[in-house]
Chain A
């Protein structure tokens, strides 16, 4: 249909049916997402523009942030607690800064992706109240935006690794594979928690606290081996610890980086299962409550 007034050709008319059941059907997720792909790109762009707007240094913060964390933590654990840290690390000869950064970069993605993703629906309520579209793309876009920071962090990691005498090889291709598991897990969690957060804003605070807790319950400034060594003294605690998929994933990341090989399968099975479960639960629960989100915003 061509309209002389606007000069824009519109697409073929397609009927949308709004009923309680129809819009909540899980089977429609993929189709809805494909339809909303252009909007998804818009949203990612929007997030990127907003993230460092009004910051004088702009995108430099994507580098400065992990560097600053690395410097601080390296300083604390190699200077302040110098003698304790030596005992802590046992015979590990790998440079602490690289070990730290290798845990920090994936963790930062997990933490920022989760916290921003959980808030994304509330932050973008203006868009949700405007028209009908697949609401999933809002948290998806929010998490995807964090990929940019992760990529920058990853390049920084490789750089520091090389500078401090490490070697890189073909084995590094396994890094994105491990990361894919983490990504799927974050998406699943965000889908589940973001719509829950719309109804119960407590969720956002709980996630904030959980992230702080997770920072210590994940081998970031220490190694997974250290925890394993504690296994004989506190078997139950360690078993609980190992339920944290991020702990295993960071172990896997370190194996990929330092040993240039596919990580131990034992480190991937549980996170893989957990990620798949999160995604399934996330998608289903989001489908159930997604169309009614605007009622709570």
Chain B
């Protein structure tokens, strides 16, 4: 049995007559003829039922009939036609001050109010202390309520209604009058009432509260019920529908639809939401606190069918967000800029694209992987792919069967700090997040007045899986050299070497490192530029973030070997304690040999993560070779006759499970000094002998 049945309810209001309407033209004759004048229809043929224990949210714009519907349910007014059946006792919180007499004290009003809700004096006495305590009114309870603020009215009103143990609880917008703390308390109480199996009908403009508290939502527009269903579905529908209001704009192009609403962007493709829980949003960290763009005051500067430019003025900060959003050819192009009135302390900025959990694979530059499952123990966010400043292109692929399109996103930015990051959120949010993170560089925590583009994201929703994979393959191809069975791939300061498709290198693969001021500057930590590819070679250069040097790498592939030429460009005078070029190979390599000696790599020992030298003889040499039964012999050979390298065999840590062939240049006592200029750092090859 439904606890509330609303059956074809229509409510019309007659216009009130004033003197003018009565005696103005035609007014009086109309009254004499019994005419009714123009009706206003507040509710138009509304039908629904509410089951016991349900909580129903009613949303809609101002004047859409929400409050009238609630009044009809409360029996405060009657429908003009149709009927409403209500089983059980109703407590309502309709208008501010309803149920109060201003001349009575708070205490007397509690009794009166409870009496209106059908609770007798003896029962109120039992509840009185709890009501006063909940309301937080304190000693004001003995004061006449005409001295109360509107917030106090609501406090008392809610406290009484909630404690009168109604079967049905009707709450109108009035709650929003209360302060944040009290609203939280009310939400908590409403949740409690829900758990006790009470039926709740709730009108609010606060959509997040509605979606948190309601099982079902009804959307009214001009008195008609235009949608009903799950909170998410109805609220989405509503947000898209109210496009024309200030601060909100709906864009559409092809299969894509995008709703910008007060600093939050939601994406839809064929009416399925592609954005996650919190949509696409941005935030800025000033003086240690994050300020979300949704806290800003937004206005739409430009509206078009498929474009929207909006400005959000941050509260209490001299900052404005300017978002330029455009849908074209199945892409969302979104430029986020910050405009500062004056020099402003900004520590970091973030642009977050929340995506549903239905995306389960990520691509990040040339890397790819699966998103870890979000477990209930995940209480913090987690970065899923190692962030790289060079990565400009990422993709997310949906789980099979999910109604989500593959997404390919590219970032364009002038900000050298902007980094794309793939994240998993905590368990509650349960989303994948594509983040553009930019931290202010060390020692520069302010940004100047004027406009700063943070990033432009181009998110492609249409290209489809094959296209994305093809593009990513293409990007990978551009970094890969092949000759015969040999393959070398450069990736962010590593070189991976494959033979007949088998990966011979492991862990951090081939790389370089320099010890400067007791700190190792590894090549994977350099900031690498774009890879330049010729027929048989790759050229790429990387700049240190910490020290004044660059490395230019040239990788070439020849029959049976990968040639390496590395130059060091010292931008300032550089003192290096030692430097090396190393290749980490898989643990299948068992033996090593140099010009001076040979030996076997030891077993890995659990718990030992330090690198262990296998050499005894440290005389300079030109080559070192590693051999294994199932793998082709691999040689690291130096061609620089004027630079003495110590060829070293090392066992890497237990965790890495790799053997290291290293060409080490040591300084005997005093550091090696590089004056500004260009030096040959390493020249040689990694040779792979066909088995």
Contact = CB atoms under 8 A, between A and B. Distances in A.
Interface in B95-115: 95, 97-101, 103-104, 108, 111-113, 115
Contacts of B111: 42
A83 interface: no
Nearest to B85: A17
A294 B77 contact: yes
A232 interface: no
B368 interface: no
A297 to B, nearest CB: 10
Interface stretch (B162-170, B487-495, B560-568): B162-170
A126 B126 CA distance: 25
Contact of B76 (A13, A124, A130): A130
Interface stretch (A3-11, A157-165, A204-212, A260-268): A3-11
Contacts of B175: none
Contacts of A16: 75, 85-87
A131 B76 contact: yes
A213 interface: no
Interface stretch (B116-124, B314-322, B435-443, B569-577): B116-124
Interface in A205-242: none
Contact of B98 (A3, A6, A130): A130
A10 B165 contact: yes
A126 B74 contact: no
B82 interface: yes
Contacts of B80: 20
B502 interface: no
A277 interface: no
B167 A10 contact: yes
Nearest to B3: A13
Nearest to B122: A8
Nearest to A23: B78
Nearest to B83: A19
B85 A132 contact: no
A28 B115 CA distance: 21
Contacts of B89: 10-11, 13
A131 B100 CA distance: 12
B541 interface: no
Contact of A3 (B74, B94, B165): B165
B196 A3 contact: yes
A87 interface: no
A274 B91 CA distance: 41
A166 to B, nearest CB: 40
B79 interface: yes
Nearest to A16: B86
B82 A19 contact: yes
Interface in A7-32: 7-8, 10-11, 13-20, 22-24
A13 B116 contact: no
Contacts of A291: 77-78
Interface in A113-164: 124, 126-133
A50 interface: yes
A94 interface: no
B354 to A, nearest CB: 37
15 contacts: A7-B127, A8-B165, A19-B82, A38-B120, A46-B108, A46-B112, A49-B108, A50-B104, A53-B144, A126-B100, A127-B99, A130-B92, A131-B91, A133-B116, A292-B77
Interface of A: 3-8, 10-11, 13-20, 22-24, 38-39, 42, 46, 49-50, 53-54, 124, 126-133, 200, 291-292, 294-296
Interface of B: 13-14, 16-17, 71-72, 74-92, 94-95, 97-101, 103-104, 108, 111-113, 115-120, 123, 126-127, 144, 163-167, 192-193, 196
Given A18-B85, A42-B112, 5 more contacts: A6-B127, A6-B163, A10-B166, A38-B120, A46-B112
